[in-house]
A and B are shown apart, each in its own frame.
Chain A
Amino acid sequence: MIPHLLSTRDLSRESAISLLDTAEDMAILGHRDNKKLPALRGKTIVNLFYEDSTRTRISFEVAQKRLSADVINFSAKGSSVSKGESFKDTILTLRELGVDGVVIRHPSSGAPQLLAERDWIDVPVVNAGDGTHEHPTQALLDAFTLRKNIHGADSRGRGLDGAHVIIVGDILHSRVARSNVWLLEHLGARVTVVAPVTLIPAGASRWPITISHDLDSALSQPVDAVMMLRVQSERMRDAYFPNAHEYSQGWGLTEERFAALSPQTLVMHPGPMNRGLEICSTAADSAQSVILQQVANGVFVRMSVLYSILTGTSEVPHE
């Protein structure tokens, strides 16, 4: 079992499938009346959030409570961090408090890796999003959602071999895109990324992806899922694209594009959405949108990750 979850890039196919399979068990539990499992009773997990993200923090917190863990929420706001305490000093403090695991969200790329590799603290670390580096649980929940929709009840043990996923938008600043690129490749899917040239990371031609700047031609191929990324309007100021209208016309999932989309193609978005910019409401609220499934599956995947890493096993007891 993996000691930490820092990235999907260094997650093997086998480990990824195991995490997804355990998430299936968690989903079954999630449909019972008593949703709780005593697996992490007596364990204290800190959610160390240096960046606001109510969605991700709540998803982790629900997962932790279903596993009966004790939860401490530490956010940069209102803590000593805003008074200038160093990252290292905060971690040393947590060590003395005796936590059993850390879920960390941080605006600095690499902060979870430092936490895991330095001798500051010796507990499992789960990356809940670091800078523009990775967001591995998001990619796992996306893969879980894809696998469920493609393979249905027959998902266990399987990857996404042969599936074609298109990721559209601000790849340059997206940790979700990076984690998805690596995980989808490990699971055997084919990935096309579509964005203006300015929003494609330098050197991405060496990644296991097809790069396109033309969304319509990308969508003219058979596509299992199209994943729309949030685009931030401040990017306009830095001359990445001219204006919201042009972005939406060129790279948004507009009414016209959605109308032309095969009804089999899943519509995904990691949230929160800018309706009308990168995605139209018709697409977001359509029957082929799995955006709300992504939210629900996020809890199962995070339960799986916490359970697997903190107990060191992937077997879930069925009492």
Chain B
Amino acid sequence: MSNSLLFRQATLPGGEQADVLVRDGLIAEIGTISSEASRVLDAAGLRILPGLVDLHTHLREPGFEASETILTGSQAAAAGGYTTVFPMANTSPVADNASVVELELSRGREAGYVQVQPIGAVTAGLAGTALADLKGMADSRARVRVFSDDGKCVHDPLVMRRALEYVSAFDGVIAQHAQEPRLTEQAQMNEGELASRLGLAGWPAIAEETIIARDVLIAESVGAALHICHLSTAGSVDVVRWAKQRGIRVTAEVTPHHLLLTEDLAESYDARFKVNPPLRTSEDVLAVRRGLADGTIDIVATDHAPHPSESKECEWDVAAFGMVGLESALSIVLLTMVETGELSWVDVERVMSRTPAQIGRLDWQGLSVGAPARLTLVDPGARQVFATEHLAGRSTNSPYLGRVLPGRIVYTAFEGYLTVDDGALVPAETVAGHALDYAMQRGVPRG
């Protein structure tokens, strides 16, 4: 009964009620449970999900610790119900070699809130020319399988082709930030009447769609796996749908903000709404929702992009692109997809936990006896005005501040210990202590 947690009367994704017993870091039992536990938690009315997995996170460490660190980003993730995040490679130094990804892995383990599973750069220094140490990262302790120059597009078709071929040898996947650079020079917001009226240079849909169209054809010709980051336009949904029908190995993600927000928000010139790819039109929002509902889009990924206030409290064209999203992601999916009837809770489990883990080449066991106890319990009926107190990371550039959002993360458990307890983040020292205990117990290598 040491280190055990018993969640009483939780609602499983499929709707059944069950008790869930967690012992020694694993799910020990699911059903009607009479055995004792060191802590019993009332989960009546709470939906239990396997811990959420974010395939697209910016943790900013090393290099940009004023915006976020591996610890604070892990805390933001736990607060949002996540137990795994894939940090992008655009750190400083760039995660383009084994030592940087191993550093990220170690710091993630020390923090102990989530699994930090690094993404490696595709090209050295994200420069778009020479390949990064792809195999070196794959063979490192971080076991990197997802490679991305996110923030930049791998725009050279030769480099893209070679990268797809090269990583296919070790079951890697290239996650493409689809943005044709010549078509988006100085681009500030979605191209269209509003951008023209506001005097902001347009970011046309075709700059995304032409790269996706090119890359699905390259992926097909070399038989490699391609993942599309933050798909944002109706045309992109059509291209991916066509590619899947053709049997091309392509997967795609959509961000919560592209499921909800539209370009109109730029009218305030409030740079909290400046993001890349930009917020699009309401037709695009409907198309990506439909794409997510019908499986054309495989997953929701946050593109959590923390920035210090001075990078947002300024002129629009001077401001940084990006918004934080880990803490609010599940709420936005509830609002846009579940409350609208487009996704069930089983679908939520699929698009926010199972499939992102599978695209990231992680072993995913879900809610099953013997699986690692990575759990999220959410109160779907709760509604609150989203405010900075709901943000657990270091930056506050959320587009949702002041909005009423549904859903509240009540408990998050990672490797059998709580990282969020009764809606509150468990302190760093406590979590780090649990992480150390777990590592000793399992013999997980440190440092």
Contacts and interface: CB of A to CB of B under 8 A. Distances in A.
B192 A131 contact: no
Interface in A226-282: none
Counting chain A CB atoms within 10 Å of each CB, which of B195, B198, B318 scores highest? B198
Given A131-B199, A132-B199, A175-B199, A202 B318 contact: no
A129 B313 CA distance: 21
Given A108-B318, A134-B199, A175-B199, A202 B313 contact: no
A202 B317 contact: no
A204 interface: yes
Given A109-B198, A130-B199, A206 B315 contact: no
B315 A204 contact: no
Contacts of B317: 108-109, 131
Interface string B183-211: 00000000111111111111010000000
A203 B196 contact: yes
Interface string A101-115: 000001011110110
B438 to A, nearest CB: 44
A175 B316 CA distance: 17
Nearest to A174: B199
Contacts, number: 69
Counting chain B CB atoms within 10 Å of each CB, which of A88, A114, A178 scores highest? A114
A206 B199 contact: no
A133 B198 contact: yes
A201 B196 CA distance: 6
Contact of B195 (A86, A175, A202, A206): A202
Nearest to B309: A88
Interface string A69-105: 0000000000000000011100000000000000000
A86 B319 CA distance: 11
Given A86-B310, A87-B314, A88-B313, A110 B193 contact: no
A9 interface: yes
Contact of A9 (B197, B268, B318): B197
Nearest to A112: B269
A203 B190 CA distance: 11
Contacts of B314: 86-88
B290 to A, nearest CB: 24
Contacts of A201: 193, 196
A110 B196 contact: no
Nearest to B200: A109
B436 to A, nearest CB: 42
B319 to A, nearest CB: 9
Contacts of B193: 201-204, 206-207
A136 B331 CA distance: 42
Interface of B: 191-202, 204, 268-269, 310, 313-318
Given A109-B317, A172-B196, 4 more contacts: A106-B315, A131-B200, A203-B193, A206-B193
Complex A-B, nearest 3 residue pairs according to Cβ-Cβ distance, in ascending order: A203-B193, A133-B199, A110-B269
